Structure 1
Amino acid sequence: VYCLTMTENEPEEELRLHLTAPAENPDQDLYVSENLPQTARVMVKDEDLCVHCGLCAERCPTAAWDMQKFDLLIPYAGKPTWIETPETALTTS
C-alpha cells in the first residue's frame, strides 16, 4: 500500500518529502488523518496512488479512515450520469 504513509505531522511541504511513494503531483491534495492517540503520528494518503482497495480503513487502529460504498457513474456521450428511478425521473407536463 504505497498510497498510505504513517509519519510525524508536519507542514505539507515536509510531509511530501516523507511519503512512502513520492508525491509527484503538487496539485493533488494529500489526505491527512487526525493525530493518532497512540503515537501522535498521522496517516497520509495520496489520492493519485490510491486504488480505493480499503486497506487503509482496515489497518487504521482508530477508524480515522472510512471507506464508504458508492456508485461510480461514468458519463458516456448522450447518456445521463445518474441512475433513473421513479424519484429522479424527469417529468414533462
Structure 2
Amino acid sequence: MCPVTCLTITHNGEEEDLRQRLMAPADNTDQAIFASESLPQTGRIMVKDEDLCVHCGLCAERCPTAAWDMMQFDLLNPYAGHQSWPEKAITASTTSV
C-alpha cells in the first residue's frame, strides 16, 4: 500500500529494536518514528518512519478501517540567509492515527 514502505505493523519494543524491525530499517536516529497505541485486535503497533514518508496520502485513502486521517497544515521552514523565514510557508499534508 505505501509506495515507500514507511509503514510497519509490528510488536512493540524499545525504539532501537523497533527501528531495525521496520519494513525499511530507520537508521537515521535524528528523524523521528511515530508509533500508534496497541491495536485492539492484535496488540501490535503501527509504526511510521517519517524519514521515508512522502505524505502522499495513499495510506489514509486505502486504509480499510479509516484509521488514518490526512490533515493539511503550513510548514514553516527556516532558510539560511533569509531574515524573515515565517513568510516562507510550504503547504503539506500529514497523517494522524
TM-score by length of 2: 0.67
Alignment root-mean-square deviation, CA: 2.4
Hey, what does 2:40 align to over in structure 1? 37
Hey, what does 1:61 align to over in structure 2? 65
1:2-13 residue pairs with structure 2 within 5 A? 2-13=5-16
Count the aligned residue pairs. Answer: 82
Contact 1:36 1:62 in 2 (8 A): no
Which is worse superposed, 73-82 or 23-32?
73-82
TM-score by length of 1: 0.69
Question: Structure 2: 5+ residue runs without aligned partners?
Answer: 89-97
Alpha-carbon separation, structure 2, partners of 1:36 and 1:26:
25
Among the aligned pairs, what percent are the same residue?
Answer: 60
Question: Structure 1: 5+ residue runs without aligned partners?
Answer: 84-93
